Structure 1
Amino acid sequence: MAMDAIDLLKHDHRMVEQLFRDFHAAASATQRNGVVDILVRELSKHAAVEELIFYPFAAKALRDESLVRRHLDEHMAVKEALAELDALARSDGRAGGRAEELIELLRRDVEEHLEDEEGVLMPRLREAVDETALRDLGRTLEKAKGTAPTRPHPHAPDRPPGLTVAAPVAAAYDRMRDRAQGRPRT
């Protein structure tokens, strides 16, 4: 049986929290760089499907644009930090001090975002929407993760309809870059 949307997104949240722990537990720069690659990929996919599918659904169900806008703003800070972290990969400087700073900044931003999302948005949505709709949304989110962008795009639109057009193009480009650079697939 498919997870409902809220459970699916919370599962993603726990995975990201584990990746932060894995980064700090890594025994070498190579291991840390591998964790960074996966962290960038997973957070980018997660943010994209939330922006494209989950937040528009929540805005409509809750009739609360300001709540959704706040989450989109939080995503922007995360995507900017991810973009800088991803750029360090091209300069081969991730093992250094700036990567450590960015990981810590990213961890704090993500932690605050998750607290707000899981403590406010998700409980309100669970109360407002029936379980069937949340399960259907979960299936849609799971499918969308398979084709979502794998890199951060902080300058791309963060809402439909612009995001609906930009996301598939960005995803195709990202996957091509991932293959060319030998990045892990998750």
Structure 2
Amino acid sequence: MDALELLVHDHRRVEQLFRDYRSAASDRQRRSVVELLVRELSRHAALEEMYVYPLAKKVLPDGAREIAEHLGEHMAVKETLLALDRLDEGDERTDELVAGLRREIEEHVREEEDVLMPRLRAAVSQQELDDLGRLLTKAAQGVPTRPHPHAPDRPPALTFAGPVAAAYDRLRDRLQRRPRT
């Protein structure tokens, strides 16, 4: 898959997790889905911030402005993910936070898939998208799995902070027996 197809695949996976949350039969199942949402959305955001957004910023005529908007949306999502990550199983605030997160993600996905991705596909070659897809697949194993709203969200600082956060996150994931994806 090329880079944009991979991102769309991630979007569909997150949409399925929201459906899984709604159909969960217990607080424990809901908490497991929340942990997967935190992981998948944190990884997805990191990949976009490290690789996709810098490319879009460079090749799109108004890329800097558009990417600044997307980074702002990412910040709001990371804040919500952080709040969810800190909750205990069965916390009464979980449903409200997940509903808000779903609305944030639906809007963000719509903007990316309807506006950013078509413009990016038109601006770069298929070979570049294929190469970026291979890079994203490889890089997904070493990006953060938890939200870090106060960490840098742009290279070059993100390039240095991302791997450190990822190592820390993976250690925490193992210690807390978080699900792997």
Is 1:44 the counterpart of 2:39? The answer is no
**Superposition map of 1:1-186 within 5 A:** 3-63=1-61, 64-88=63-87, 92=88, 94-186=89-181
Q: Distance between the aligned counterparts of 2:53 and 2:137, measured in 1?
A: 15
Query: How many residues are treated as equivalent by the alignment?
Result: 180
Q: Distance between the aligned counterparts of 1:113 and 1:139, measured in 2?
A: 24
Amino acid at match of 2:151: A
Q: Distance between the aligned counterparts of 1:41 and 1:95, measured in 2?
A: 19
How far 1:96 sits from its partner (Å)?
2.9
- The ranges of structure 1 where at least 4 consecutive aligned residues each deviate by more than 3 angstroms after the TM superposition are none
How far 1:95 sits from its partner (Å)?
2.1
How far 1:138 sits from its partner (Å)?
0.6
Q: Distance between the aligned counterparts of 1:134 and 1:10, measured in 2?
A: 13
Amino acid at match of 1:185: R
Q: Distance between the aligned counterparts of 1:143 and 1:53, measured in 2?
A: 12
How far 1:50 sits from its partner (Å)?
0.4
How far 1:61 sits from its partner (Å)?
1.5
How far 1:80 sits from its partner (Å)?
0.3
Instruction: Give the aligned CA root-mean-square deviation in angstroms.
Output: 0.8
**Structure 2 unaligned spans of 5+:** none
How far 1:142 sits from its partner (Å)?
1.0
Deviations 1:69-112 (A, max 9, x none): 11000000000000000011xxx2x4232000110110000000
Q: Distance between the aligned counterparts of 2:154 and 2:91, measured in 1?
A: 35
Structure 1, 75-84 or 53-62: larger mean CA deviation: 53-62
SS in 2 for 1:97: coil
SS in 1 for 2:149: coil
Amino acid at match of 1:77: A
